[in-house]
Amino acid sequence: MAIERTFSMIKPDATKRNLTGKIVDRLESAGLRVVAQKRIWMSRREAEGFYAVHKERPFFDELCEFMSSGPTVVQVLEGENAIAKNREVMGATNPAEAAEGTIRKDFAESIGENSVHGSDGPDTAKEEIAYFFAATEVVG
């Protein structure tokens, strides 16, 4: 299995409820290592750029409004199979469908306000890391 890097974000619903540490603990306990991390507050334009792939979806406006409504924690995670492992620890997009013990099952408020983001493949991981971090900010 290959050592991979993936992009992860703790969303405004979770930072608001002071869940940053609890979520990072879930990720670290699953064997993922935080190799870059910062707390930011995205502008509406930054949120639109980040989620550009969803711009034709009916929930796009609501999503960008939410993602720019408060602070987020953006991070790069490293580990064996990091992309799939992060998605597994996160759980399904809709918390009502997320497996027991996943972050979204335990913390998410709704399908829109679902506490965490994780890249869905190697290409998006690379793009999303570069959207927020300079190469010198990722320290393995």
Identity of the residue numbered 90:
M
Catalytic residues: 117
Q: Angle 82-90/20-29 helices, nearest 10 degrees?
A: 130
How many residues interact with ligand DAT (rule CB under 6 A)? 9
Stated length of the chain: 140
Considering the rule CB under 6 A, would residue 111 count as an interface residue with ligand DAT?
A: yes
Q: Pick the piece of the chain touching Mg ion (CB under 5 A) from 28-36, 68-76, 84-92, 116-124.
A: 116-124
Shortest CA distance to 115 belongs to which of 7, 14, 9?
14
Instruction: Tell me the two tokens of residue 88.
Output: 């597994």
Task: Choose the stretch contacting ligand DAT; rule: CB under 6 A; options: 16-24, 68-76, 107-115, 128-136.
Answer: 107-115
Nearer to Mg ion, 109 or 120 (CB): 120
Determine if residue 11 is labeled as part of a ligand binding site. yes
Tokens of residue 109, six digits = 């408020």
Q: How far apart are the first and last CA of the chain?
A: 18
Q: Minimum CB separation from ligand DAT for residue 139, in Å?
A: 26
Task: Write the single-letter amino acid at 70.
Answer: G
Alpha helix ranges (H) inside 35-121: 44-50, 60-67, 82-90, 103-107
Task: Rule CB under 6 A: choose which of 73, 114, 132, 133 binds ligand DAT.
Answer: 114
Binding of ligand DAT at residue 120 (CB under 6 A)?
yes
Please report, in range form, the residues annotated as the binding site for ATP.
11, 59, 87, 93, 104, 114
Residues that bind ligand DAT (CB under 6 A): 54, 59, 63, 93, 111-112, 114, 117, 120
Residues that bind Mg ion (CB under 5 A): 120
